[in-house]
Chain A
Amino acid sequence: MLEAAIEILLKTVVILALPLGALPLIIHVERRGAAFMQKRLGPNRVGPFGLLQPLADVAKFMFKEEVHPTHVRPFFYTAAPMVALIVALLPLACIPVAGPIEAFGRTIYPEVFRSDMGIFFAFAVSALGSYGILLAGWASNNKYSMLGALRACAQMVSYELSLSTSVVAMIFLFGTNDIHVMVQAQSGYWLGFIPQWGVFYQPIAAMLFLVGIFAESNRLPFDLAEGESEIVAGYHLEYSSMKFALFFMAEYIHMIALSALFIILFFGGYGILPGMEGLASKSPYLLMLLQVVSLIIKIACMIWFFVWVRWTLPRFRYDQLMNLGWERLLPLGIANLIVTVLFVYFRNQ
């Protein structure tokens, strides 16, 4: 009993520490990446290569005066950032950072919540993501915040549909909801060097999911919730200092969690990258380490992709966004789902 409690506690600490610890680095990459694409230098004064800039930002957020506007609804105003962060952290609970390992006389699964419904659970809890934003917009009692929140919420609900169709297609294809089985199914190679990743089975689903991540995490080109030129800053307009930082963190953690799910479904999850097999076969512990490293490398690539797209594409107009979601992606997703289901049905015959 005590052992199990300690195990859960350790896993929770690790799964919280990894993304929260990576946040400053990601923000640094984002700013330097932006500078790189705009032929600027970016923050390079604090510490080597400006690496300590995020720390300075954190210090600033912590010690800044917290402005509490008088016209807000106090309870919901305070609750909104917390809800946003907690909900963003929830899907991380069932994302494994490595494969199951035999240690201390039993099999240890490196995820906080082990279930054969892992992927389903993760999507269920990430569907709650819009509540924090909606609450913030409403509690701020401000037209711009309200508009931003409504935009964000409508957008998240709309794109969740096409995203779900792609997830369901992958669940049908693998015939399971278990993340470990999914990763196992993607571990082989074609012709000895092309990894059997989900993206090669289901390119359309992968594309739908990728677009869905951008819309779900409210990032450019879909960051209409924050459209500075129209609605100032959207739902977090009235928030300052640490409360604002919580929204900021929630957005990035949501991004990490969705990237991890994307990698699990389409890029082999924690499966080791091609070329690591020789090293991995030496010891199971080394294999586990390589799996963690592979997952981190894959997520890092995804984050770089996010930064890349952010500074490449301009913002969509709202009607374009809705048309794309409902008239293009959703029918495409449903068609893809039908074809996949037929394929799986006849394959299993």
Chain B
Amino acid sequence: MAVDIMLTILTVVFALMVVFSKKTVVAAFSLLMTLLMIAMIYFQLGTVFISAVQVLINAGAIAILFVFVMMLINLEQFTNNREKSKWKLIVSTVTILVLLGVFALVINNNIETLSVMNLADNSMKTLFAKLFDVYYLPFEMATVLLLAAIVACIVITSHEKHEVAEELAAAKSEDKV
């Protein structure tokens, strides 16, 4: 029990550090620690598989890309951007309201969530049986969301490339003149 409380407190502290730390790399490492703490909570609940997946994918692959990119472009000169804008306020309010709404829906309608406790017996089989049966639609929607994100990335980068090429061409023609 003491371990559970400690892990929860640490998770929250690291999560707060992600938001409030001034240095971006410290924030990235706090994110990593948050993910690892969540993995430990899963571990504490007896679901080794989900815990290992959390470490392997979130901590081992995604967070490392964050840290990698931050170090590569040396983000130290950009401290956490704190300019005030009304859009920030509006968007965060809407997000919080939506999250609260979803939370209320889940609690009110008593929707059966993927409770980790009942996966402890035979985690992998139970998990995937549920994922591809009961939760097939949300699972597919998540993949579509990821696909959309990938497409968006490609569009953004290719657009920038295009612009860079145009700028280069313009600079070259200027040189010639």
Contacts and interface: CB of A to CB of B under 8 A. Distances in A.
A120 B60 contact: no
Nearest to B49: A117
A121 B39 CA distance: 12
Contacts of A288: none
Given A137-B71, A149-B71, A131 B64 contact: yes
Contact of B55 (A124, A149, A157): A124
Contacts, number: 52
A149 B60 CA distance: 16
Contact of B71 (A117, A127, A146): A146
B60 A124 contact: yes
B124 A128 contact: no
Q: Helix, strand, loop or mixed for chain A's interface?
A: helix
A121 B48 contact: yes
Contacts of A125: 55
Contacts of B48: 115-117, 121
Contact of A127 (B61, B67, B68, B124): B61
Interface in A167-225: 177
A134 B64 contact: yes
Contacts of A121: 48, 52
B53 interface: yes
B52 A124 contact: yes
Given A115-B48, A125-B55, A177-B124, A134 B71 contact: yes
Interface in A100-159: 115-117, 120-121, 123-125, 127-128, 130-131, 134, 137-138, 146, 149-150, 153-154, 157
A127 B55 contact: yes
Contact of B64 (A117, A137, A157): A157
Interface string B25-58: 1000000100000000000000011001101100
Contacts of B18: none
B71 A150 contact: yes
Contacts of A116: 48
Nearest to A154: B68
Nearest to A121: B52
B56 A153 contact: no
A127 B61 CA distance: 8
Contacts of B91: none
A131 B49 CA distance: 22
Nearest to B72: A150
A90 B101 CA distance: 41
Contacts of A149: 71
A157 B53 CA distance: 16
Contacts of A115: 48
A184 B92 CA distance: 55
Given A117-B48, A131-B32, A177-B124, A124 B71 contact: no
Contacts of B21: none
A253 B37 CA distance: 25
Contacts of B65: 157
A123 B56 contact: yes
B8 interface: no
A198 B25 CA distance: 42
Contacts of B61: 127, 157
A131 B59 CA distance: 10
A137 B72 CA distance: 11
13 contacts: A117-B52, A117-B124, A123-B56, A124-B60, A125-B55, A131-B32, A131-B67, A134-B71, A149-B71, A150-B68, A150-B71, A154-B68, A157-B68
What are the 5 tightest A-B residue pairs by CB atom distance, in nearest-first order? A127-B60, A124-B52, A124-B56, A124-B55, A117-B48
Interface of B: 25, 32, 48-49, 52-53, 55-56, 59-61, 64-65, 67-68, 71-72, 123-124
Interface of A: 115-117, 120-121, 123-125, 127-128, 130-131, 134, 137-138, 146, 149-150, 153-154, 157, 160, 177
